[in-house]
Amino acid sequence: MAKKNAHPTSAQALDLLVETLARHSTLSVADERAMRRLHPRVREVEKGTDILRQGDRPHIAVMVISGMLARYHTIPNGNRQYLSLHIAGDLPDLQSLFLGMMDHSLCSMDEAQIASFRHTEILALVKRAPSAGLALWRHTLIDGAIFRQAITSNGGRSAVARVAHLFCEQFTRARAVGSMSGWSCPFPLSQTQIGQLVGLSLPTVHRATQLLRKQKCAEVRGGELRILNWRRLGRQAGFDPLYLHADLGERS
């Protein structure tokens, strides 16, 4: 995948939005035209920046253009629990459109480029082009399906299976948006962060990744996840991509 432009324009952000929604929903010409009337603000954020914090009442929604964002809870004891990872095309805080207060935070795991859409503009879009609104709704529903898998992962799977499942999900999602090359995709998390995502301690994460590497299933190196044996990895994870609702018949 060629590198994105250093400074994506808002037009490119709109391209990405249309492309992403079209991946799972059918958009009429009118919908698309209405969407292109939005005025996103594009900007870059440093690695590890908090974009929104638990308790905020944002008036914008964010779309990832490149890089990786994540949502997380801050537990009373100060620990962090990551909830989800977000890559190009994702709208990680779209729920803020209707849930006034953020119940979690949003941060960058990477140097990332993001586009911000005003809530007021999105609401106007939804009114003007209802089926574009339905596409956004569907987007949040897929989000929910991913959350459900995370519950199952953290609740019922072994350490190795959790890590393996994370790898499967991340690679599948990256492939869906074309953000991969061959059997590799971006994966900028440290082992500590993986632990805070799947509910394991650092040493346990390390031993799990090490095992997967030894078994030639997958490995992380230099911010990249590389799949070595997709079938075996999937078996370790108990992975069934159904829940991603990616509609495997990926067009072109």
d(CA 51, CA 250): 32
- Shortest distance, position 38 Cβ to DNA, whole Å: 35
**CA distances, 34 to each of 22, 28, 74, 106, 121 (Å):** 14, 10, 37, 28, 11
> Do 171 and 180 contact (CB within 8 A), yes or no?
yes
133 binds, among a copy of itself, DNA, none (CB under 5 to 8 A by kind): a copy of itself
210 binds, among a copy of itself, DNA, none (CB under 5 to 8 A by kind): DNA
145 binds, among a copy of itself, DNA, none (CB under 5 to 8 A by kind): a copy of itself
- Shortest distance, position 97 Cβ to a copy of itself, whole Å: 8
- Shortest distance, position 35 Cβ to a copy of itself, whole Å: 17
216 binds, among a copy of itself, DNA, none (CB under 5 to 8 A by kind): none
Q: By CB under 7 A, tell whether 80 contacts DNA.
A: no
> Do 178 and 172 contact (CB within 8 A), yes or no?
no
- Shortest distance, position 40 Cβ to DNA, whole Å: 30
- Shortest distance, position 158 Cβ to DNA, whole Å: 4
Q: Which of residues 50-89 bind a copy of itself (CB under 8 A)?
A: 55, 71, 73, 75-77, 79, 81, 83
Q: Which of 173, 183, 175, 195 is nearest to 81 (CA)?
A: 195
The residues, any chain, with a CB within 8 Å of residue 180's CB and separated by 6 or more, are 1, 171, 174, 186
Q: By CB under 8 A, tell whether 173 contacts a copy of itself.
A: no
d(CA 168, CA 185): 11
For 191, phi and psi rounded to 5 degrees? -65, -35
> Do 250 and 176 contact (CB within 8 A), yes or no?
yes
Q: By CB under 7 A, tell whether 158 contacts DNA.
A: yes
Give the DSSP H or E segment for 93: none
Residues forming the site for DNA (CB under 7 A): 158-160, 190-192, 195, 199-204, 206-207, 209-210, 220, 222
